[in-house]
Amino acid sequence: MYSDKIVLTLDWGANMTEKNEKTVINVNCMNKVFWIPDEPKTTAEKIKNILFRKKKDKHIIKDVSFEIKQGEMVGYIGVNGAGKSTTIKMLTGIYPPTSGTIKCLDLDPFKQRMKYVKDIGVVFGNRELLNYDIAPKYSLELYGAVYGLPKKIAEKRYTEFAKRLKVSHLMDTPVRKLSLGEKMKFNIIASLLHKPKIVYLDEPTIGLDVVAREEMIKFLAEINKKEDTTIILTTHNMDDIEELCKRIIIIDDGKKIYDGPLKAVKDVYANWKRITLVFSEKKAPFMHKFEIFEKTNDLMIFKCPNEKLKDTLDKITECFEIVDLKIEEPKLKEVVKRIYLDKKVEIDAKCN
Amino acid sequence: MLNVIKKEWNVFIEYTKLQLMAYLEYPLNFLVGFVWTCVALIPMYFFWNALLTSGVDINYNQTTIILYYLFTIGFFYSGGFFKSLRQEIIKGTIVTTLVRKIRLENYFVYNAIATVLISRFLIGIVIVIAGIYFVGLQSLLGVLFFIFGLIIGATIYSILIAIGFWTGESWGYFYVTSIIINLVGGSIIPLDLFPIFWQKIIAYTPFSLMFYVPAKIYLGELTITPWLIFAYVAWAVVLYLILNKMISLGLKRFEQLGG
């Protein structure tokens, strides 16, 4: 199983060499340690804490290294609290790494922020880029001025994007009256207005419905193709990036645990479905060798390999009086767990 | 250089436009601001009227003292005006500005100036009309110098906002400092009514340039000299450099966990 991954990773490497694209992001042994408040325990400590806050270190990012080439679309994924947003904030120059180096477009994002940010676009899924009280048009005009774009060019660009994302009719509607999906579309327009070389999207799909998510993904793929924009997208949902990113970086507890093609992860670590079956009656014995997650008198949740899915569904209809049937992709947490297990097997094999 | 100035001017205009649009969404704010000024003027009128009719000898008569307070209360601004800017550091929303091609110091100063200009616009018209009627056209210079003083005031408040990088929640010192600034800026009591010792000390600070000096120009009681213009420019440059240094140091301390 592990050797499959290596072959695919090597394939990926070969493709990258063939293209010989310029490296736009180079991260080397990046670490980030935050100071967080430490709860005082004794009364003396509590009194002292009023004036001198007791703090402790929290290691958020641990020795992360990677390179991203121009025009790549990379998914940076991890469960909540894995360190995705912290990485994006360091890559966008909001704060520096505690140790290690970051070079983006040959610049230090933190030290050369003003030079660097003119070539990047950033969308934070849970932070509004537009003024809440007024129509998005005015915020877009402001961003045009911030990047020194001539008014006509800025207007042409945001009108074109708005048309493409089907939000032209909302240009004069105050942001507070827009839906989450519409707001996100305008945030994306604002981040692309100045033709950035790199676009960072930090959880852009939070709260979006399927239609809005798909429209956004299609639009980003188009921009990537048309303008050769490098796109880095963070998410805690692998489905978000399936249509968008060929390469993914998985981060867990601040450590990079996978960097390679999404297909490899799908084929090797997510090659099964979670089937939730609710039934009223058992018509025939259900013979299987699947891993069972949960089983009661009228419910069964089990893991079914993708290649056996069709046969299994046929069997289920034969054996059960179905009340409800749910087929789900494995959760990212489960994928991460399997990658860890594989790494452990690899380390054990090396030790022996 | 000219291109940079033009670009920065455009950015400032866009921020002002944005503030105006946001303000127009709630037009009642204009009226509330106007009524607040009138209400604040009433006790001032009765207090100074009582004082002047009782025979106390100060450098003001009833008209000039009312005009002085119309100017300083009408154009009044304090820390409370910049609450949303102050909270950007605490709440972490500042990250959306940090990823844009704008200096954080300029962002604070532009927004602070725009906030005051927009909120004081309506009463500003009354101040201009009253000045022209009672003093003459030269009172317009007082309004112009108020705008110069506003650049200084906005930079001072931006420095106070930047302290938030170290202190986190900062409303306490922000409001206390704000009261002191208004006291030594001459918006509570005219500075020439202070004891000479304090007047001399305050003269060495930039605060008198915010309210007192423009108000005196407005009343036609202060001549504009090259030294005065130099004081405005010098303080604006010095304060901006302090702000610049504080922001570069503050950003090194800025930590914001999570998304």
**DSSP per-residue letters across A297-337:** SSEEEEEEEGGGHHHHHHHHHHHEEEEEEEEEPPPHHHHHH
CA B154 – CA B122 distance, rounded (Å): 20
Long-range contacts made by residues A49-56, C-beta under 8 angstroms, separation at least 24? Answer: none
- A139 and chain B: CB distance < 8 Å anywhere? yes
Question: Per-residue pLDDT tens for A42-94?
Answer: 888 888 877 777 778 889 999 999 999 999 999 998 888 889 999 999 999 99
Give the model's confidence band at A7: pLDDT under 50 very low, under 70 low, under 90 confident, else very high.
Answer: very low
CA A118 – CA A217 distance, rounded (Å): 23
Question: Per-residue pLDDT tens for B152-193?
Answer: 999 999 999 999 998 877 778 888 999 999 999 999 899 999
**Phi, psi values for residue A328, rounded to 5°:** -125, 150
- B10 and chain A: CB distance < 8 Å anywhere? yes
A131–B22 CB contact, under 8 Å: yes
- B255 and chain A: CB distance < 8 Å anywhere? yes
CA A328 – CA A211 distance, rounded (Å): 19
Question: Per-residue pLDDT tens for A299-314?
Answer: 999 989 988 899 999 9
Judging contacts by C-beta atoms under 8 Å, the chain A residues touching residue B95 are: 89, 94, 124, 127
Q: Most A CBs within 10 Å: which of B100, B103, B167, as the mutation test of the A interface? A: B100
- A79 and chain B: CB distance < 8 Å anywhere? no
Q: Pick A124's closest partner by Cβ from B95, B251, B252.
A: B95
Q: Most A CBs within 10 Å: which of B2, B28, B99, as the mutation test of the A interface? A: B99
Is the model's pLDDT at A345 over the cut of 80? no
A125–B259 CB contact, under 8 Å: yes
- B144 and chain A: CB distance < 8 Å anywhere? no
Give the model's confidence band at A324: pLDDT under 50 very low, under 70 low, under 90 confident, else very high.
Answer: very high
Is the model's pLDDT at A16 over the cut of 50? no
Angle between helices B83-91 and B104-119 (to 10 degrees): 150
Q: Which chain B residue has its CA at the smallest distance from A174's CA?
A: B25
- B26 and chain A: CB distance < 8 Å anywhere? yes
Where would I find the beta strands (DSSP E) of chain A?
Answer: 23-37, 55-69, 73-77, 99-104, 120-124, 198-202, 230-235, 247-252, 255-261, 272-282, 291-295, 299-305, 320-328
208-237 of B, contacting A, C-beta below 8 A:
none
A95–B258 CB contact, under 8 Å: no
Distance from CA of A127 to the nearest CA of B (A): 7
Q: Can you give the pLDDT at residue A270? A: 83
- B100 and chain A: CB distance < 8 Å anywhere? yes
Q: What is the mean pLDDT of chain A?
A: 85
Q: Can you give the pLDDT at residue B132? A: 95
> In 10 A of CB A222, how many CB atoms?
11
Distance from CA of A6 to the nearest CA of B (A): 32
CA A71 – CA A246 distance, rounded (Å): 12
41-60 of A, contacting B, C-beta below 8 A:
58, 60
Instruction: Provide the residue-wise pLDDT of chain B in tens; the chain has 259 residues.
Output: 888 888 899 999 999 998 888 888 888 877 888 888 889 889 888 998 888 888 888 888 889 999 999 999 999 998 888 988 988 988 888 999 999 999 999 999 999 999 999 999 989 999 999 999 999 999 999 999 999 999 999 999 999 999 999 887 777 888 899 999 999 999 989 999 999 999 999 999 999 999 999 999 999 999 999 999 999 999 999 999 999 999 999 998 887 665 5
Largest CA distance in chain A: 72
CA B24 – CA B117 distance, rounded (Å): 14
Question: Dihedral, CA atoms, B161, B164, B167, B171, nearest 10 degrees?
Answer: 50
**How would you label B76-100 residue by residue, b for 16+ Cβ within 10 Å and e otherwise?**
bbbbebbeebbbbbbebebbbbbbb
Judging contacts by C-beta atoms under 8 Å, the chain B residues touching residue A147 are: 101
Q: Which chain B residue has its CA at the smallest distance from A129's CA?
A: B96
